[in-house]
Amino acid sequence: MSATTQGSGVPVCPRCRSNTTEVRGVSPVAGVWTVYGCDTCFYTWRSTEGEQNTNPDKYPEVFRLKPENLPKLQVAPRIPPLQPKAQ
């Protein structure tokens, strides 16, 4: 297993380095590309993109995210209080 893949062969997320990734889709013409997605930070990438988008070690520092910081992101729009149900 390399630094950039999980045991199943699905890569770790280049952006947040979580293992919560899966194949989202494959090219209709077989074997051209695979699209992966992360269920932690929702980063999406295509296997044929450059290393800055696909390799966690080459992913630009400025765009990296830490899973523990995701709940602290600004919420917009705010969620309003629930209205009491009419009887």
Partner 1 sequence: MRAYQDFREFLSVLEQQKQLLRITDPIKLEPDMAAASAAATKLGNRSPALMFNNIAGYQNAQIVTNVHGSWANHALALGMDPETGVRDQFLEFVRRYRMFPGQLERVTSAPWQEVVIDKDINLFEILPLFRWNQGDGGFFIDKPCVISRDPDDWNNDDVENVGVYRLQVKDKNHLGIQTVPQHDIALQLAHAEARGEDLPVAIALGNEPIITLMGATPMLYTQLEYKMAAVMQGQPYRVVQNAKGLDIPYGSEVVLEGRILARKRQPEGPFGEFPGYYSGCHQYPLIEIDRMLHRKDPIYESVYVGRPWTELDYLQALTTSAPIFDQINATFPEVQAVNALYTHGLVLIVSTKVRYGGFAKAVGLRVLSTPHGLGYAKVIIVVDADVDPFDLNQVMWAMSVRVNPAGDVLMMPNLAENLLDPACQPSGMVTKMIIDATMPVPPDTRGDYGEILETPMGTDTWLQKLEALTKELQK
Chain positions contacting partner 1, by CB under 8 A: 15, 24-29, 32-33, 35, 37, 39, 41-46, 48-50, 52-53, 60, 62-63, 65, 70-71, 73-83
Other beta carbons within 10 angstroms of residue 40's beta carbon come to 16
If the CB atoms of residues 1 and 79 are measured against partner 1, the closer one turns out to be 79
Please report, to the nearest 10 degrees, the dihedral formed by the alpha carbons of residues 58, 26, 70, 61 taken in order: 10
HSE-up of residue 29 (Cα within 13 Å, Cβ side): 1
Distance CA 27, CA 30 (A): 6
If the CB atoms of residues 3 and 29 are measured against partner 1, the closer one turns out to be 29
Smallest gap from residue 74 Cβ to partner 1 (A): 5
If the CB atoms of residues 5 and 70 are measured against partner 1, the closer one turns out to be 70
70: phi then psi, degrees, rounded to nearest 5: -60, -40
